[in-house]
Amino acid sequence: MGEDITELEFYGDSLLLYDSVLIELSSRINIIRKANIIHNERDPIENVKTRIKSPKSMINKLKMKGLEPVAESIRGNVTDAAGMRVICTYIDDVYKVASILASQKDITVLETKDYIKNPKPSGYRSYHMIVELPIYISDTCHRVCAEVQLRTLSMDFWASLEHQIRYKHDIPSHKMIGAELKRCADEVASVEMNFLTIRDMINSIKNNQE
């Protein structure tokens, strides 16, 4: 089970809720971007990706938790069936966007994990939020959870490479490549801080010229 089953076959009516929460979150992100444009401010977001966890992946997760591998086991036990990845330009943009989402009254932040300030041993860096939003289907309100990952372009590029290393165990010199990726993650973190400094220097010069 899980190899050929479709999302609709596995999730059933819940699929509409997961689709809807991603549509709602995407709308919030678009409004943040448009607000910056209207106020002649820099767009802090490069792009946005959304996904609903595949049946195979969700089934494996439920089994690891010791739960029956059916959609009914998700509620109250799994909060990342729906996921959004927000790719930002600079590190401070990550925290800016996260703060805006958290400040919206109908969004409840259930959990945050700051892997930027506290990277994983592998070097992985990103800011994770588990949020809960009201989703209205006809006249019924459902509170639906989703995971929001915020990271920079370089963090996202690094994570895609690290993902291949973790899941393709037949790659020769797996440990050596993992160690090299960790070194690259540290270097990327240093370069990103340098970019922030350069950006702030340029902005300071512009402000003094005005």
**What whole-number distance in Å separates Cα of residue 196 and Cα of residue 200?**
6
- Give the residue ranges of the chain where pLDDT is below 70: 1-3, 166-173, 210
Q: Edge-to-edge strand order for the sheet containing 108-114?
A: 45-52, 82-88, 140-152, 127-137, 108-114
pTM: 0.90
Residue 209's pLDDT is 77
Residue 123's pLDDT is 93
Residue 170's pLDDT is 63
Residue 15's pLDDT is 96
Residue 102's pLDDT is 97
